Amino acid sequence: MSALVAIREASVTGGDYSPAKEKASNRGVYNGRSTLLNRRFRLLIGGGAKYKLLLLLCFLTSLYSLSSRLSSFMGWNPHYPSSVYSTSRGGYTVLINTWKRNTLLKQSVAHYASCGGTDGIHVIWRERNPPSDELRVYLKNVVLSKSQTANKPNFRFDLNERDNLNNRFKPIEDLRTDAIFSVDDDVIVPCRTLDFAFTVWQTASRTMVGFVPRMHWLNEERNGVAYYGYGGWWSVWWTGTYSMVLSKAAFFHKKYLDLYTSKMPSSIHDYVSNERNCEDIGMSLLVANASGAPPIWVKGKIYEIGSSGIRSLKGHSYARNKCLNDLVSLYGAIPLIKTNMKACDARHIWFW
């Protein structure tokens, strides 16, 4: 199928060629067209529009994939080292953050167990009472029955004595994978999308790769202190710029669990556990500081199955603004890096 597509595409562009046209273009008849193309190209990359840069990137990615498919079809395959993109590092561990929502938890465990790249599922249990035997048995069985792979994913609860939001990023003993997919119990990422994001992470494992982008900007400087604004989905959509991806649906390297727990300033741990919020902003600061790189936003639909989005929008945005500024001042720096790049699956791009 993909080979067919490649041929069709090739004959469309190749069909333009004829000796007469070539001669004509040498005489300058076709120069009009090429300057038009030139102008369009300049228009495309000029104008400072974030959007266009993004599109161009997606376009180049798809072009690259097309050309590599064409070349392999034509027998030009220069033997790509397949191990680079294979799941040689052993898939990922899904880290589910849950709180008193067993129905959602059952749904999301069943879903992630069915994804091919899932090597393990860890549920961060933050209630004081341990999970019931009924729930344990149910989830164990659902993992076994839904898993499509020969190696059944590990399933484990991480129990905690106190409800402390920092536990979300506690190091996990005997992890089998480098990759962690951190997700809230009410977020469902389709397996195809998830596996694609994992391949993105494999090429950029220092940074966070996820589906929920957020941004920051400098609001004002007063008496040598910088105040920042925190931008939600609309700001990202409007400007095409982001500097964080939230841990409610993101891949990161397991070493960041260690760094979060042992190297993060303890004032930040205290802040997060007192406010019961903003551990995700803390993690973004940490990964940006350690990697010196922006996060990567992956294109793909995700589904929120809970009905918990009743947070008053105004209050929420005020709280997030405050968190960002408080955490930045506790951290002593703002290491976040802005970017306009978005990774998209080239198999799904036909036109822009």
Ligand X SMILES: *[C@@H]1O[C@H](CO)[C@@H](O)[C@H](O)[C@H]1NC(C)=O
Q: Which residues are catalytic?
A: 280
CB of 106 to ligand X, least distance (A): 38
DSSP one-letter code for 167: G
Cβ(334)–Cβ(226) under 8 Å?
yes
What is d(CA 261, CA 258) in angstroms, rounded to the nearest whole number?
Answer: 5
Distances (CA, A) of 154 to 168, 175, 214: 18, 10, 32
Tokens (6 digits) for 166: 């920092």
Considering the complex, state which of residue 115 and residue 334 has its C-beta at the smaller distance from ligand X.
334
Q: 80 burial class (0-12, 13-18, 19+ CB within 10 angstroms)?
A: exposed
CB of 93 to ligand X, least distance (A): 24
Distances (CA, A) of 102 to 34, 178, 191, 276: 62, 28, 21, 20
Considering the complex, state which of residue 285 and residue 298 has its C-beta at the smaller distance from ligand X.
285
Considering the complex, state which of residue 256 and residue 297 has its C-beta at the smaller distance from ligand X.
256
Region for 130 from its dihedrals, namely left if φ exceeds 0, alpha if ψ lies in -120 to 50, beta otherwise: beta
Q: Which residues bind ligand X (CB under 6 A)?
A: 263, 265, 289-290, 331-332
What is d(CA 79, CA 74) in angstroms, rounded to the nearest whole number?
Answer: 13
CB of 213 to ligand X, least distance (A): 22
CB of 265 to ligand X, least distance (A): 6
CB of 289 to ligand X, least distance (A): 4
Considering the complex, state which of residue 198 and residue 252 has its C-beta at the smaller distance from ligand X.
252
What is d(CA 22, CA 20) in angstroms, rounded to the nearest whole number?
Answer: 5
What is d(CA 175, CA 198) in angstroms, rounded to the nearest whole number?
Answer: 17
| CB proximity list for 68: less than 8 A, separation 6 or greater | 80
Residue nearest to ligand X (CB): 289
Considering the complex, state which of residue 21 and residue 263 has its C-beta at the smaller distance from ligand X.
263
Considering the complex, state which of residue 122 and residue 269 has its C-beta at the smaller distance from ligand X.
269
Number of helices followed by number of strands (H, E) in the chain: 12, 13
Backbone angles phi, psi at 278, to 5 degrees: 75, 15
CB of 35 to ligand X, least distance (A): 49
Cβ(279)–Cβ(126) under 8 Å?
no
CB of 227 to ligand X, least distance (A): 19
Q: 145 burial class (0-12, 13-18, 19+ CB within 10 angstroms)?
A: exposed
Considering the complex, state which of residue 223 and residue 266 has its C-beta at the smaller distance from ligand X.
266
Backbone angles phi, psi at 138, to 5 degrees: -60, -50
